[in-house]
Amino acid sequence: MIRRALLWLDARTGAAPLVRKGLRYLFPDHWSFLLGEVALYAFIMLVATGIYLTLFFEPSFGETTYTGSYAPMQGLPMSEAYRSALELSFDVPSGLLMRQTHHWAANVFVAAIVLHMIRVFFTGAFRKPRELTWIIGLLMLFTTLLEGYLGYSMVDDLLSGIGLAIGYGVALSVPVIGANLALGIWDGPFPGSTVFESRMYVAHVFLLPILIATLLAGHLALVASRHHTQFRASKRATQRRIVGMPAFPAQTPRSLGLMLMTAALLFLLGGLVQINPIWQWGPYETYQATNGAQPDWYLGWLIGSLRLMPGFDLSIGDYVLVPNPFWGGALFPLVVLGVLGAWPWLERRFTGERGFNNVLDRPRDAPGRTAFGAAFFTWVALIFISGSADRADVFLGLDYESQIWFYRVAVIVVPLLVFFVTRKVCAELQASDAIEEAREAAEEEAKAEAVAA
């Protein structure tokens, strides 16, 4: 039966050799290699739940009055977008489940990408011949951030509006062309014209998902063509020989299992753990703002950078050149993207290493990279944490302004400390490894001598 089907297919497509090769494609085994897979499966969940949401959501700033079943908002004027999102949540059976699962999937998607990226960085998996895979992954991460931002922005609740106001401020702050850029994107001064909602919508459900899917395809194609990296788990795993489990039958059911488990986790979160309760924010009015609402976690680093920046616009006399939001809202993420994107080549310049790498480093094997990575991560993480200083003020009673001054110093000092401490720790670990190896070698020798005697 299977034979006949495959031979039928092969006669028409010539696929049999490819299928045979594909079934025996080898996957080196390590738990940390699953992070990328989780990201992939979260993306599939996003597409699936997202398509469902588009069947109900009305992307329109057109004004209407709420008449749905959520009593506190009865008779409130709002946009069609917000009304339909409320209706989806309250009046469409399983609508709330799909919306919350979609939102959770977005959070898990970005988290999985970031963890995957950290794993790839600290094991040196980005080195030749996999620099392009790394770059594509980075582009995917940043596309995803924009995608997530647009997702909660187009609902047109108060949180959406505040986020968009900040996005508008950052767009305006771009040197030279900022004003033109913001007016072009929003079709006029903030809050923009009604077509702006259509623009967000087509970007969120069409342009960016297709871009992400294309990058994803390229990412996976490159992984497959160069094969996966591996740890030196056994003597057989070398730069030239790959050791792993075949795609079929070992890897496929495991991976499908992981996909289903990811789906299960996301549906469980979507069903049991409330996320973005849009009915609590209310419709957006430009004159309203609130400090209780927090954006999704993956924008926290930008909130932090916008808040930490000391208050100045770069100006000559009265001529403003670079308004403040540019530093935290545009330059900071671009610097992070630039440094991470350039890292494979920067590292090669430092180490002078030009060869092919299929075997992964343990973090201690490359003290320079590990120290830099730890410092860089600390820098971004501190800026991220500083974005929650207002929460610390409310819940712990720590004075906000003092905290900000603390972070302004800490983001410079602490990464430097982390750099030197990490490098030292790596060196110590390497030294203890060397002692261990020497001891083992000596013991072998002693044993051999004993046998000889």
Partner 1 sequence: MRRLWQGLLAVLTLGLGRRRERRRDEGEGDSGGGRGHDLVEPGPRNPGTELGVAALFLLAAASAVAFIVVYSLERFPAQHELFGVTLAAAFGFLGAGLIVLARRVLPSEELEEDYPEEEHVEAGIEAATIVEESGRSITRKRLLTAAGGTAGGAIGLAALTPALSLGPWFHTEPLRRTPWRAGRRLVDREGKPYRAEEIERETFYTAFPEGASHRTLGSMLVVVRLDPARLRLPRERADWAPEGILAFSKVCTHAGCAVGLYRKPTYPPTQPPPGLVCPCHYSTFDPALGGEVVFGPAGRPLPQLPLAIDGAGELRACGNFSNAIGPAWWGVNLEKPS
**Considering only residues 325-344, where is the footprint of partner 1 by CB under 8 A?**
325, 328-329
CB of 108 to partner 1, least distance (A): 14
Residues 166-185 that bind partner 1 (CB under 8 A): 166, 168-170, 172-173, 175-185
**CA-derived radius of gyration, the chain:** 26
Token digits for 56? 């109900």
Among 106, 136, 159, 242, binds partner 1 (CB under 8 A): 242
Whole-angstrom Cα distance, residue 132 to residue 189? 39
Which burial class, exposed, middle or buried, applies to 377 when counting CB atoms under 10 A from its CB (0-12, 13-18, 19+)?
middle
Among 50, 137, 282, 323, binds partner 1 (CB under 8 A): 323
Query: In which residue are the tokens 């968009």 written?
Result: 164
307 lies in the site for partner 1, by CB under 8 A: yes
- DSSP state, residue 27: E
94 lies in the site for partner 1, by CB under 8 A: yes
160 vs 422, beta carbon nearer partner 1: 160
CB of 179 to partner 1, least distance (A): 4
CA triple 236-238-243, angle to 5 deg = 55
CB of 186 to partner 1, least distance (A): 7
CB of 385 to partner 1, least distance (A): 15
User: How many CB atoms lie under 10 A from the CB of residue 200?
Assistant: 23
Crossing angle between the packed helical segments 300-308 and 367-386, to the nearest 10 degrees: 80
Which burial class, exposed, middle or buried, applies to 29 when counting CB atoms under 10 A from its CB (0-12, 13-18, 19+)?
middle
Residues 187-206 that bind partner 1 (CB under 8 A): 187-191, 193
CB 102 within 8 A of CB 53: yes
Among 15, 202, 264, 339, binds partner 1 (CB under 8 A): 264
26 vs 414, beta carbon nearer partner 1: 26
Among 39, 159, 162, 375, binds partner 1 (CB under 8 A): 162
62 lies in the site for partner 1, by CB under 8 A: no
Residues 412-451 that bind partner 1 (CB under 8 A): none
Among 22, 129, 277, 338, binds partner 1 (CB under 8 A): 129
Among 43, 122, 186, 384, binds partner 1 (CB under 8 A): 186
Q: What are phi and psi of 27, to 5 degrees?
A: -110, 110
CB of 257 to partner 1, least distance (A): 4
The answer for residues whose C-beta is within 8 angstroms of residue 56's C-beta and 6 or more apart is 84, 87, 88, 92, 95
Which amino acid appears at position 365 of this protein?
Answer: D
107 lies in the site for partner 1, by CB under 8 A: no
Binding mask 3-42 for partner 1 (x = CB under 8 A): ---------------------x-x--x-------------
72 lies in the site for partner 1, by CB under 8 A: no
Token digits for 268? 């469980």
Q: Which region, judged by CB under 8 A, interacts with partner 1, from 47-55, 249-257, 337-345, 425-433? A: 249-257
Cis peptide before 246 (omega within 30 of 0): no
Q: Which region, judged by CB under 8 A, interacts with partner 1, from 51-59, 144-152, 319-327, 367-375? A: 319-327
CB of 417 to partner 1, least distance (A): 26
Whole-angstrom Cα distance, residue 387 to residue 294? 10
220 lies in the site for partner 1, by CB under 8 A: no
Residues 342-371 that bind partner 1 (CB under 8 A): 356, 358
350 vs 400, beta carbon nearer partner 1: 400
The answer for residues whose C-beta is within 8 angstroms of residue 247's C-beta and 6 or more apart is 22, 23, 24, 25, 26, 27
DSSP 99-153: HHHHHHHHHHHHHHHHHHHHHHHHTTTTSTT-HHHHHHHHHHHHHHHHHHHHHHH
386 lies in the site for partner 1, by CB under 8 A: no
Whole-angstrom Cα distance, residue 437 to residue 39? 38
Q: Which region, judged by CB under 8 A, interacts with partner 1, from 135-143, 146-154, 165-173, 208-216? A: 165-173
Whole-angstrom Cα distance, residue 148 to residue 134? 21
Q: Which region, judged by CB under 8 A, interacts with partner 1, from 4-12, 31-39, 246-254, 368-376? A: 246-254
8 vs 356, beta carbon nearer partner 1: 356
